[in-house]
Amino acid sequence: MRMTTNANRRVTDEQIERARSIDLVQFLQQYEPPGELKRIGQSWTLKSHDSMRISADGRWNWFSQNKGGGDAIGFLQAVHGMSFQDAVRKLAGEDFKTIPATQAEHKAKPPERTAFALPPKNNGNRRVFAYLHRSRGIAAEIVNHCIKYDLLYEDAQHHNAVFVGKDENNNARYAFLRGTLTDSHFRQEATGSDKSYGFFLRGSGKTLFVCEAAIDALSVATLRKFGGLDWKKDNYLALGGVTASERKLPVALERTLNNFSFKRVVLCFDNDAAGQTAARRIFTMLRQQFPENLEVRTCVPEVKDFNDQLCVKLQNGKNSPSRGTRESTLSR
């Protein structure tokens, strides 16, 4: 894809609106070189960036770079280095012709779901335990709890941590793989994963902590434990990432709220632009859909995310005063 640089030229609201309405997969089918865009199950990836996953509704996650979004503008900015203005002009320009419906394969004929299968288990979980407990600070009790209930294990081939999402019948429907080497940036959903079944640590109480990633959820549970609270009473859900352009409730959150009864939801997203924009939008949607019977709060770490917050706390001594949130939700 050839890029132009006209960052100083302004774009109109009409151009921005048109650019946001462009179908990302359809656009890539027209502009990427032949063979660059590849289908994997119900999603798409790029030959040159195999950790990229693009869904049919335009959401994309570039796992190796920890980036994601919900429209083509953000995609062009992140992947092709375009400015916002150049991305808008590229998408809204006259040179982009909408592909006829017969050619828009992902719209006219939804892809068949690839069968889901968990990666083979390793004989033990030594590397996963060491990574989560020693490197990321997750309490040993919590790591062992997840392993005991088959929510977490070490895969046999690459020794990744595998976080498992299950359905109402305790069947695995989703898995997220995370590299366990200290300098590894490997992150990837297992082929065929159903994102509506996120990593979910079920408790006995009525509070649901909602996080972006499984390690964040386990970090929140650990911070609760270190705060002298019974972490097993609470519920922890990982969404598998969020985007700044959330227009509807994440499917994993929606399914969880439909299947279980909660009195309070606490959004514990990353302290960055994408995380906090998503938090505000999801907060508003929850208040609109559950105006009376659900208390909704947000909890923001003062550092990047809640695992960083946990590591800071451990460095300072786990019994030191809790300093890391703008709301004391995690300590009460």
The candidate with the shortest Cα–Cα distance to 239, out of 210, 262, 263, 275, is 210
DSSP character at residue 331: G
The Cα-based distances of 92 to 12, 71, 170 in angstroms read: 10, 13, 46
pLDDT digits (tens), the chain, 332 positions: 444 444 445 778 777 877 877 888 888 887 778 788 888 766 788 888 877 888 877 778 887 777 777 778 888 888 888 888 888 888 877 444 444 444 444 444 445 557 899 999 999 999 999 999 999 999 999 999 999 999 999 999 999 999 999 998 999 999 999 999 877 888 889 988 998 999 999 999 999 999 999 999 999 999 999 999 999 999 999 998 887 666 788 999 999 999 999 999 999 999 998 889 999 999 999 998 887 789 999 999 989 999 999 999 999 875 443 444 444 456 55
Instruction: Please say which residue of 108, 137, 160 terminates a domain.
Output: 108
Q: What is the pLDDT, as a whole number, of residue 274? A: 86
Distance, in Å, from the CA atom of 138 to the CA atom of 290, rounded to the nearest integer, reads 32
Clarify whether residues 80 and 182 are in a common domain. no
268 residue type, one letter: C
The answer to whether residue 306 is domain-embedded is yes
Sign of the Cα torsion 169, 173, 178, 180 reads: positive
* CATH at 21: 3.90.580.10
Clarify whether residues 213 and 99 are in a common domain. no
The count of structural domains within the chain is 2
Beta bridge partners, 39, equal: 44
* CATH at 133: 3.40.1360.10
Encoding tokens for residue 228? 């002298």
Q: What is the pLDDT, as a whole number, of residue 269? A: 96
Clarify whether residues 94 and 182 are in a common domain. no
| Measured torsion, CA atoms of residues 262, 147, 318, 309, in degrees rounded to the nearest 10 | -70
The answer to whether residue 62 is domain-embedded is yes
| Residue range of the domain that includes 282 | 126-331
Q: How many CB atoms lie within 10 A of CB 115?
A: 8
Clarify whether residues 74 and 216 are in a common domain. no
Clarify whether residues 290 and 150 are in a common domain. yes
Clarify whether residues 148 and 242 are in a common domain. yes
The answer to whether residue 114 is domain-embedded is no
3-class SS at 25?
helix
Query: Long-range contact list for 59-62, CB < 8 A, 24+ apart?
Result: 59/243, 60/24, 61/240, 61/241
Clarify whether residues 146 and 90 are in a common domain. no
The answer to whether residue 6 is domain-embedded is no
Q: What is the pLDDT, as a whole number, of residue 112? A: 58
Clarify whether residues 175 and 102 are in a common domain. no
Clarify whether residues 38 and 184 are in a common domain. no
Sign of the Cα torsion 137, 141, 147, 152 reads: negative
The answer to whether residue 120 is domain-embedded is no
Clarify whether residues 103 and 211 are in a common domain. no
Encoding tokens for residue 75? 């995609």
Q: What is the pLDDT, as a whole number, of residue 76? A: 86
